[in-house]
Chain A
Amino acid sequence: MGLIGYVLRPPLALAESVCLAALDAVLAAPFTDEAVRRVLASGALDRALDEALAGPLVDALARDLVRHGVPERLARELIAAGIVDEVVQSAELEKGVDQAMETHLVDAVVGRLHESDELWRLVAEIAESPAVTDAIGRQGVGFAGQVAGQVRAESERADDGLERLARRLLGRSPRPAVE
């Protein structure tokens, strides 16, 4: 900073303080709220917004949002606040999903997926994965075990029933208990 800057610094600082004080006074003044209301009611703000949205501002804003990771930060905050859970469980979303399902969109998506070779390759990979084959194997063995258990239980009942019948036919007493 040169000599001029050194000399001008005090009056600039004074001017800055005066401006801020004037702004505070304007904001605190009773007519400010009325002035804002009139501006909003005039439609000038709508026109200004329309102008801004039609221009390159939106593109620049989108680029900045991505550059600063705003969507991720926003999502993190929404999840942390439990808002995502609320939305997912809301009746409105359910209704919206129902309406979407009734449209031809779902049929179109399913049709596209059905025609996709990649999808079938993925399905084949999943079906052949060790986790899936193990699960199917376990289920098969479990089912066979269940059937065998049922057969065993029935056969034990049949053993006793047949024995009782045979003994009754020959007038014999029931088989004594044996250790």
Chain B
Amino acid sequence: MNNYAGLVTRALAFAIDAAIVDLTGIAVGVVVGLALSVLNTPDDVDKALLAAGGVIFVLWTVGYFVVFWSATGETPGNRVMRIRVQCPDGRTLTRRTAALRLVALGLAAIPLLAGFVPVLFDRHRRALQDFVARSVVVRVPG
């Protein structure tokens, strides 16, 4: 019964991952910003660099989750909380399925996090992104 990770555990794991992704992005942004402040670049270039930075951050975020989910099923946050994203038969997700799951994760958060509520009622504790990607989040024995 307790093989599947619940809402609180998954939220904590995601919070750790979000902190890693955001802090890395902020650190890189600060370093690049300081470097650019030394150079006297035109406004247009600044805007272009800002847009590029945004795109790079999105790619970094997508890459982070897709790579970890499709490689071992465990992001660093998942590893701390000892949970793993996988197919119901135990296989790891493909990159395509992992990307799909990430998109569904965003969609689940949009309507006031309503997409995560099924975790409380589903017998496999699945959220919207799990239904979409046909995945489950299980506890890893310690």
Hey, which bits of chain A sit against chain B, CB under 8 A? Answer: 148-149, 151-152, 155-156, 158-160, 162-163, 166-167, 170, 172, 175-179
Contact = CB atoms under 8 A, between A and B. Distances in A.
Interface of B: 1-9, 12, 80-82, 120-121, 123-125, 139, 142
Q: Is the interface of A mostly helix, strand, loop or mixed?
A: helix
Given A156-B6, A175-B1, A151 B123 contact: no
Contact of A166 (B1, B82, B120, B142): B120
Nearest to B11: A155
B120 A151 contact: no
Contact of A178 (B6, B81, B123): B123
Contacts of B12: 151, 155
Nearest to A159: B6
Given A162-B8, A175-B1, A177-B1, A152 B120 contact: no
Contacts of B81: 148, 151-152, 155
B123 A175 contact: yes
Contacts of A158: 6, 8-9
Contacts of A159: 5-9
Contacts of B9: 152, 155-156, 158-159
